Chain A
Amino acid sequence: MSNWSDLMQPGTNQQDLADNKPAKTKQGARYSVGIDLGTTHCVLSYAEVSDIDDEQFSPQVMAIPQLTSPGSVEEKQQLPSFLYQAHEAELAEGSTSLPWTAKPDQLVGEIARNLGSKTPIRLVSSAKSWLCHAGVDCKEPILPAEAPEEVERVSPFQATTAYLQHLRDAWQNQHPEAPLEQQDVVITVPASFDPAARELTVDAARAVGLGQAILLEEPQAALYSWIEKSHGDWRNHAEVGDIILVIDVGGGTTDLSLIAVTQQDGTLELTRVAVGDHILLGGDNMDLALAYTIKAKLEQDGKRLEAWQVQALTHSCRDAKEKIFNHSDADNIPLVVASRGSSLIGGTLRTELTREEVNRVLVEGFLPRVAVSDKPLSRARTGLRTTGLPYAQDAGITRHLAAFLTKQQGATAELDDINLPEHATFLHPTAVLFNGGVLKADALGVRLLEVLNSWLAAEQAPEVRLLMGADLDLAVARGAAYYGYVRKGKGVRIKGGTAASYYVGVESAMLAVPGMAPEIHALCIAPFGMEEGTQQELQDDEFGLVIGEPVRFRFFASNTRREDNVGTRLTYWNNDELSELDEIEITLPAESRKPGEIVPVRLCAAVTEVGTLELQAISQKDGNSWKIEFDVRERE
């Protein structure tokens, strides 16, 4: 493994030079800024970092001014990740101005969510989930997915850019003396984001002038926040041999990570050893499930509900659920859906949400007591699914967790400090850190621990400890701000590298058999755990690329094959070992060459300081290199 900067050879074209420059922490940056770019909410946290000790680090959460309804601007800690494509006749002139602009390019935040609740065809939501959705080009205007032709569409990339721009403008407005592009900026992404989605996020940051921003995985950010909040005391709560399981259940996604605690020269070290798959399942599913339960109950009584009533019911279910979870004496909460006209009395629909229903639908439905050998069900479509995104088919979070721990049984095999019993059928975590608003409900957290402990007890392993003290809504942004500080060489840093190994598909050189597609081999081009700022070149295999013609490769990732090195060729693999990502594409520009000429190249993988994977084709003749594009989804 050689240093990334060694790659820079004479003759490399200018564009690549700019892209590959290691993103060092900004000299003289006053603040470390963490941005949690969530599926349903964005949060920005910041802290002054000039000459302070670990104990003094105190991140603050920025109040984000945003339109809440036409004509009114409020400051809120969270910016809802929604974008509304208003009709030109819909809003009065001057009713959308913000403190920094008379007319914003895009309506984002609370106003978008409010207007969109009544006009869903113009609402863009869950843009982040689209970024990681195989099979669509994220720079194509495709959202809102179900809007009529006439509605102007934006790409998931544009929507992400719009949220970042709002955050940047809000910052600039409050800190005119410290432009955001001169601060250390950390943006969080789900641990399960594939290389293409990470790259798109960095591109979006670059589009609003935040070229220096680096990425951090959300579960890691949550752990950083826990470390930061303990003010150095975390060493008393973690011990060598611990495996910390981070369970992050947000509004739209469930993200799982395992972090091992090891020892090096007497000091504790943290290594992120495994991340889960991208599971589109979260708090929004829970609210929807409750609303549908209530709807079914009302329909039994002969009351038909209209779409807007179901929507209103979802809202009141969210509030009622929280009341039931937070007040142990409230066994049934009345739900009311007011009529839409000005006459309130008489037209209002009333029903009740009972504790039994909440337990049955949420606790039993989303966190069922299952065995660790259970697998998430597939093909069991329920009423929760909306067209478009590949939502998780099994709502059982515990089943996803069981599958994750079983699949990652060998995650700590290389660490001497971690000893798993021989009879173990899954990786035994010793501590759990919760994150995400959903787990604020004690009943859900208690059930998760109960199920996890039942698996451990079956294998005579000790119960897990719950790591306390994290702010479940804001931890990710706070942790991201702390990471900016850690990168200056202070505090403790979680090691990790890439969370998967990557492969390109090559056709095997075998005799052609009529009617059979040639067999595909997977050639490893980036191993598991490649650290930021390193690169590896595929030595033995050369590819002949035709100038001016795009060449595509099938692209695979594995989050379990830790032993494969660059150049390892897999002729056979299990379906759950390798998952296919979108194809990657190289086009050699016909700059000083004849179109049609064939250039022999080697493939080279690098993990940038920013945290993205970069693939390059390096010419064997003159050392020129070309970037291999990830986001070529379905582009015709």
Chain B
Amino acid sequence: MNSYLIDLSLKPTTFDLWHICLAGTVAVLAMVLIALLLVMIISMSRCKKRPTQQVAVPMAEPVVKIIEKIIEVEKIVQAPAPEPLVLKESTPDAALQLLSLLQNEARFIDFIKEDITAFNDADIGIAARVVHEGCNKAINEHFTLAPVRNEQEGNKITLQDGFDASAVRLTGNIIGKAPFTGTLIHKGWQVTDIRLPKLTHGHNATIVAPAEVEL
């Protein structure tokens, strides 16, 4: 069998096509690198300039406006470019509360945390009844759920222009313009009312189920 040996002390004696290709590639990559660096420098210098321009706009405009029209001044102050979106931070309390409700009513965490591989389906089925019944009770007690669409699943429905894209998600062959006609795959769920328990001050919500000691 052929085997390729690598000898680092060897020096090329001929200048063949492979070496031409290598040299060319190195030259091209160097060019690309230089070009990228240039672009970055330019864009960074532009970014630095922009804020100063933005401040300048509102600063300048009110001077031009007539002083009596205070309302307009206010409008202009509100005008600056949209602030970068800050994502909503969800509070852990509500999530912990829901976990606690599901654990207390339905033994939810017990069930999820248990290794079910060793058990047969019949045993898991019995436990699943506890979880299902309890979850059903907990969810019904604290949330009012309604389908987003009341049509039968599998039916054709038509969405008019301006439909709420957060309530209805289009999938598949999305082309053309509204109205869209398609098959209702899932009717969706929405919470129309929520009745979570209020927590007392000083309640440690991270204890979703206290340890139980019988005396």
**Chain A residues in the interface with B (C-beta under 8 A):** 65, 68-75, 92-97, 99, 319, 334, 336, 338, 340, 342-346, 348, 350
| Contact yes or no, B203 A94, CB < 8 A | yes
| Contact yes or no, A97 B200, CB < 8 A | yes
Beta-carbon nearest neighbor of A337 in chain B: B130
Beta-carbon nearest neighbor of B119 in chain A: A345
| Contact yes or no, A342 B104, CB < 8 A | no
Residue-wise, chain B 180-215 has the 8 Å CB interface mask toward A (1 for contact) of 000000000000000101111111110000001000
| Contact yes or no, A73 B129, CB < 8 A | no
List B127-186 residues whose CB lies under 8 Å from chain A. Answer: 127, 129-131, 133
| Contact yes or no, B200 A94, CB < 8 A | yes
Residue-wise, chain B 112-129 has the 8 Å CB interface mask toward A (1 for contact) of 011010010001101101
Given A343-B110, A344-B111, A345-B127: A94 and B202 within 8 A (CB)?
A: yes
Q: Which of A74, A96, A319, A338 contacts B195 (CB 8 A)?
A: A74
Query: How many residues on B have C-beta within 8 angstroms of the other chain's C-beta atoms?
Result: 28
Q: Which of B123, B199, B201 contacts A345 (CB 8 A)?
A: B123
Would you call the interface of chain A mostly helix, strand, loop, or mixed?
A: loop
| Contact yes or no, B200 A72, CB < 8 A | yes
| Contact yes or no, A346 B195, CB < 8 A | no
Interface centre among A71, A75, A92, A346 (most CB of B within 10 A): A71
- What are 10 residue pairs bridging A and B, where the CB atoms are less than 8 Å apart in the complex? A71-B204, A72-B203, A94-B200, A336-B127, A336-B130, A340-B212, A344-B111, A345-B124, A345-B126, A346-B123
| Contact yes or no, A72 B116, CB < 8 A | no
Chain A residues with CB below 8 A from B201, complex form: 94, 97
What CA separation (Å) do A61 and B65 show in the bound complex? 59
What CA separation (Å) do A334 and B123 show in the bound complex? 13
The 6 A-B pairs of least Cβ separation, nearest first, read A71-B203, A94-B202, A72-B197, A345-B127, A74-B197, A97-B200
Interface centre among B104, B123, B127, B205 (most CB of A within 10 A): B127
| Contact yes or no, B110 A344, CB < 8 A | yes
- Shortest CB-to-CB span from A294 to chain B, Å, is 15
What CA separation (Å) do A429 and B48 show in the bound complex? 93
Chain A residues with CB below 8 A from B203, complex form: 70-72, 92, 94-95
**Chain B residues in the interface with A (C-beta under 8 A):** 97, 104, 107, 110-111, 113-114, 116, 119, 123-124, 126-127, 129-131, 133, 195, 197-205, 212
Knowing that A92-B202, A93-B202, A345-B111 touch, tell me 9 more A-B residue pairs with CB under 8 angstroms. A68-B197, A73-B200, A75-B195, A92-B204, A97-B201, A344-B107, A344-B127, A344-B130, A348-B126
- Shortest CB-to-CB span from A350 to chain B, Å, is 5
What CA separation (Å) do A65 and B197 show in the bound complex? 9
Chain A residues with CB below 8 A from B131, complex form: 344
| Contact yes or no, B126 A350, CB < 8 A | yes
| Contact yes or no, A348 B127, CB < 8 A | yes
Interface centre among A71, A319, A334, A344 (most CB of B within 10 A): A344
| Contact yes or no, A72 B195, CB < 8 A | no
- Shortest CB-to-CB span from B102 to chain A, Å, is 13
| Contact yes or no, B113 A342, CB < 8 A | yes
- Shortest CB-to-CB span from B92 to chain A, Å, is 15
Chain B residues with CB below 8 A from A93, complex form: 202
Chain B residues with CB below 8 A from A346, complex form: 119, 123, 127
What CA separation (Å) do A71 and B207 show in the bound complex? 11
Beta-carbon nearest neighbor of A316 in chain B: B133
What CA separation (Å) do A515 and B186 show in the bound complex? 89
Chain A residues with CB below 8 A from B119, complex form: 345-346
What CA separation (Å) do A74 and B111 show in the bound complex? 26
